[in-house]
Structure 1
Amino acid sequence: MVLPAFVLFFVLHTIPVLQGIFFSLTDSPGYGAWKFIGLSNYAALFSDPRVVDAYLFTFKFAAVTTVLVNVIGLLIALGLNARIRLKNTLRGVYFIPYVLALLVIGYVFSYMLNQSLPTIGRALGIEALSSSLLADPDRAWLGIVVMTVWQGAAFTIIIYLAGLQTVPADLHEAASIDGAGPWRRFWSITLPMIWGFFTINVVLALKNFLQVFDQIIAMTGGGPGTSTESIGVLIYRGGFEGGEYGYQLANAVVFMIVIVAFAFFQLRVLRREEVSA
């Protein structure tokens, strides 16, 4: 029963990965003749300022977005877990952004930030909002962060809600009787008991945001200039549009190693904290 799945995985995943690693050692433009050049592509990556800038932007974007998504998701989940009216309806409403296509959401936010928000800013006399946020090289990434957090928080909310359901209400009642306030109960009871869910959310969020692509394509295209060019966008543009197929495959291999390393490091640290808690 395992054999069909293994064959499909090997043919559709393992073989393409091995081919990609092989062609990363060539000067292939993606078509026509090519020759083997060894590790030259990998050596060139570390001295390419565009690659370095793309990595720095991606790390900054992923770090900020991961923190915001988890903080906002946990706060909303705590609110939904409380005894409020229309709780089940609100859970469905908050999950809607996650099922929408990223490109569609990106185009909607692009219109809002390029057209609607500047119009409102000019009408209110707010100079900071009177021009397009996405046209400013220093602020364009903030617009992408806002859109990504709005869309990505939905998934973290569902995971945190599942975790909060595992916290016995008796513990909170006993702590309240002993005089513990809401903040103390959260740090001493709730957070340690949902730490495993926190680990899942942080690892998955950072992995997904390091691979940011659709949002940037829809909202800025990597611009203005290359100010919002992520690693994924750089690999796509250079590999499929710029004749750098072998070079960007080397970039993709390095990027894959970076993502795996981040995931292992996070799991190691967060699970250690989970055991301590």
Structure 2
Amino acid sequence: MTPGRTTENAVLAGPLVLFLLAILGFPAALSLVYGFSDTSFETLTSPEFSGLKNFRDVAADPTFWQAAWFSLRFGAITAVLQCGLGLALAVYLAPLVRRHGWTVAILIIPMIVAPAMMGLMYRLVLHEFAGPVPHYMYAWFGWSPAFLGPANVFKTVIVAETLQWTPFAFLLFLAAYQSIPEDLREAAAVDGTRPWRLFWKIELPLMLPTVFVALFVRFIDGFRVFDNIYTLVGAGPGGSTTSMSIYIYETFLRRGEIGKAMAAAILLFLTAFALLAVAQRLMKGRAR
């Protein structure tokens, strides 16, 4: 690349860099300051440097580790379920979508609804005393589980998250499946390859990069989940559905421990950054 072209690219990218620094740089720097300071709402404008005290407090807080364990399980389980269902739907419905493209608009409706609204909807539908699902289950079968109770709340939020975001994985896998050259399928059919063997030996290996990206994206999104769980059940019975984001929110706004909340947010960011770095290394290794 010539020096003139480099200077031109720098000039063109300058406004974007300045915009990102203004929008993201200041909040990030302020979060770092608060994370290493003894800060509350009373001392918000004059934080006192406290070193690693906030990080030690976070590490000694059992609620933080409970939230981290919940986020890890929730992110992993929902990512696997969403990608598994999305892959199955993409392969099974590909002929239908090829003939009637408008069906995709119907299939992605759950993804369009705001997560907070989806959580409120499930809360109304599954409420133990006022929800129609428990009412009719008890009327028809004489029994209804407490969907939002301690024994079932984790399964409930897993199902709610999976139902809403499976369409996202479906779209990714449908695009990857339709991008496979038809020549490969025709050649395999001429050789007498059965559909299942065609999928496992040809189609799925070609879709593996998309599968990996979808798993990673859905895991990160599940790990930092907040709005739909918070509107559905809040922190849950005994804090059983407290994710990392909910932990940070309640530490910041409900308890006023701003420095501790920022320290937890920094740890969450570093964890996400480390996962992204590992994912990029794995993808590069596979590309080689």
Give the TM-score taking structure 2 as reference length: 0.89
- How far apart in 1 are the matches of 2:88 and 2:166? 10
Look up the match of 1:119. 135
Residue pairs, 1:198-213, within 5 angstroms: 198-213=211-226
Pairwise CA distance, 1:264 = 2.1
Letter in 2 for 1:210: F
Contact 1:21 1:249 in 2 (8 A): yes
Q: How far did residue 52 of structure 1 move?
A: 0.4
CA gap 1:84/1:251 in 2 versus in 1, 3 angstroms: closer
For 1:121, the aligned partner's letter is: M
**Residue identity opposite 2:110 in structure 1:** P
The answer as to 2:15 corresponding to 1:4 is: yes
Which runs of 5 or more structure 1 residues have no equivalent in the other structure?
Answer: none
Aligned residues: 272
Tell me the SS of whatever aligns to 2:49: coil
Q: Indicate the larger mover: 222-231 or 78-87.
A: 78-87
The residue matched to 1:88 in structure 2 has which SS?
Answer: coil
Q: 2:97·2:103 contact (CA, 8 Å) conserved in 1?
A: no
- The answer to whether residue 159 in structure 2 is matched with residue 146 in structure 1 is yes
Q: Does 1:185 align with 2:198?
A: yes
Asked if residue 26 in structure 1 is aligned to residue 42 in structure 2, the reply is: no
Change in CA separation of 1:119 and 1:153 when aligned onto 2, cut-off 3 Å: same
What CA distance in whole angstroms lies between the structure 2 residues aligned with 1:159 and 1:228? 29
Q: What residue in structure 2 maps to residue 98 of structure 1?
A: 111
Q: Are residue 64 (structure 1) and residue 113 (structure 2) matched?
A: no
Are 1:17 and 2:24 counterparts?
no
Structure 1, 161-170 or 194-203: larger mean CA deviation = 194-203
In structure 2, how many angstroms separate the alpha carbons of the residues matched to 1:269 and 1:193? Answer: 16
**Cα distance in 2 for residues equivalent to 1:159 and 1:39:** 42
Match of residue 107, structure 1, among 117, 120, 132: 120
CA contact (8 A) 1:207 1:263 kept: no
Partner Cα separation in structure 2 for residue 248 and residue 260 of structure 1:
18
Report if aligned partners of 1:28, 1:34 keep a CA contact under 8 Å in 2.
yes
Show CA shifts across 1:7-37 (max 9, x none). Answer: 1210110221111011101110134254211
Cα distance in structure 1, aligned partners of 2:81 and 2:163: 10
Cα offsets for 1:66-109 (capped at 9, x unmatched): 00110111111112212568631221111111111111111111
Q: Quote the Cα distance in structure 1 between the aligned partners of 2:145 and 2:100.
A: 39
Contact 1:107-1:218 within 8 A present in 2 as well: yes
The residue that corresponds to 1:216 in the other structure is 229
Q: Is the 8 A contact 2:34 2:47 kept in 1?
A: no
Q: 2:251 aligns with which of 216, 221, 238?
A: 238
Q: What's the C-alpha RMSD, in Å, of the aligned pairs?
A: 1.8
Please say if 1:259 is aligned against 2:286: no
Contact 1:113 / 1:143 at 8 angstroms: preserved in 2? no
C-alpha contact (below 8 Å) 1:203/1:267 kept by paired residues: no
Question: Mean Cα displacement is larger for which, 203-212 or 118-127?
Answer: 118-127
Relative to structure 1, the CA distance from residue 186 to residue 97 in structure 2 (aligned partners, 3 Å threshold; closer, same or farther) is same
Name the amino acid aligned to 1:29: S
Q: CA deviation at 1:144?
A: 1.3
Amino acid at match of 2:38: D
**What is the match of residue 132 of structure 1?**
146
Counterpart of 1:228 in 2: which secondary structure? coil
Q: Distance in 2 between matches of 1:70 and 1:224?
A: 29
Distance 1:76 1:163 in 2: 13
Q: Which has the higher Rg, Structure 1 or Structure 2?
A: 2
TM-score (norm 1): 0.92
